[in-house]
Amino acid sequence: MSPTISAEELRLRYRNTTAVDGLTLTLDGPGIYGLIGRNGSGKTSLMSVLAGFRRASGGRARVNGQPVFENPRILPEICLIRGGADTVEHELRNRVSDALKLAADLRPNWDADYADELVSKFGIDRTKRVVQLSTGQRSALASILGLASRAPVTLLDETYLGMDAPARYAFYDELLRDSMAHPRMLIVSSHLVDEVSPILERVVMIDQGRLLLHEDAETLRARGATVSGPADTVADFVSGRTVLNERRLGRSASAVVYGELAEADRAHARESGLELEPVPLQDLFVHLTKGENR
């Protein structure tokens, strides 16, 4: 069955704070989805409701057409791994092997061989207690619990926190490889947009608990362009357009412009000796979520 998630007018409040504010969203089918938003934009809160970690204050959250909260038929199909090793914080006294055994006992689609492979890949000692692992290793362990769960809906909430760069890139590679080998809905939340964007198929951007956009990643990248070439020519070309980012190196420059370019504009750019590339999601993200600093 192709996994689907739907949120209708979803709300989550913490006393005086509205974390998710009437969000409506439908995700359909396997793939890697990026949930992107600034710190405090409501990513963790949204994922927590979608995984049944919290009851929504209002609206509806459904997975495969069924309500999520306290639903024994649907909850085993969902796996949420929270960042900063939150997921393993209650396993601190346990050994790594105990944490894996617990997941093996409780996760219906658990792949023990794959978990073993990842434990070796990330260099985690399974005889160590979780409390003895570094923060990065705890995050890696949490990521292993998420990936090896092979849950049809897997939500990875900034699981890279604490990992060093090689571990993060190994995690992204593994995410891509495994999603191709075992297609399922993988939702990755992040604010390190540059790092994660190459593996994303669809992008959900939220801000202040509201949905900003939900689009195919390629379509989103086509919303603008990175123009590079001689500085004067670049300046002429971007004149009158919305410039998201600009860099200059000697006589060369590059600028990120927002807004779709017509075919005539593209032809003109090429004739002028300019190179056009898709817009980096990071720049688009900064542009779309800029506003008052929080």
Partner 1 sequence: MITDPIARAAARRFIGGCTLWALVGVAALFLFSLAVTTAVATFAGPIEVSGWGEVSLPLKWGFLAFGAVMAVVTLPQHVAHGRTRREFAVHQAVCVVAMALVTGIAAASAFALESLVYRVMDWPQEVSRTGLYTEADQYALVALEHWLVLPTWIGVGVFVSLGFYRHIALGAALIPVGAVLVHVVEAAVKSVDFSAPYLAEPLAALGVGSGPGVMVASCLVGFLLAMVVTWAVVRDIPLRSRTH
Taking the complex as a whole, the smallest distance from the CB of residue 105 to partner 1 amounts, in Å, to 4
* Contact call for residues 210 and 24 (beta carbons, < 8 A): no
Nearer to partner 1, 34 or 52 (CB): 52
- Answer for which of 151, 187, 204, 234 binds partner 1 (CB under 8 A) is 151
Nearer to partner 1, 106 or 192 (CB): 106
* Contact call for residues 229 and 272 (beta carbons, < 8 A): yes
Nearer to partner 1, 7 or 79 (CB): 79
By CB under 8 A, tell whether 136 contacts partner 1: no
Taking the complex as a whole, the smallest distance from the CB of residue 147 to partner 1 amounts, in Å, to 14
Taking the complex as a whole, the smallest distance from the CB of residue 67 to partner 1 amounts, in Å, to 12
Nearer to partner 1, 78 or 115 (CB): 78
By CB under 8 A, tell whether 1 contacts partner 1: no
- Answer for which of 60, 107, 182, 287 binds partner 1 (CB under 8 A) is 107
By CB under 8 A, tell whether 53 contacts partner 1: yes
Tokens of 179: 């999603």
By CB under 8 A, tell whether 84 contacts partner 1: yes
Taking the complex as a whole, the smallest distance from the CB of residue 182 to partner 1 amounts, in Å, to 18
By CB under 8 A, tell whether 138 contacts partner 1: no
Nearer to partner 1, 48 or 289 (CB): 48
- Answer for which of 67, 76, 183, 278 binds partner 1 (CB under 8 A) is 76
Nearer to partner 1, 132 or 219 (CB): 132
- Answer for which of 59, 64, 102, 210 binds partner 1 (CB under 8 A) is 102
User: What type of residue is 177?
Assistant: R
Interface ranges with partner 1 (CB under 8 A): 14, 19, 44-45, 48, 52-55, 69-72, 75-80, 82, 84, 86-87, 90-91, 102-103, 105-108, 151
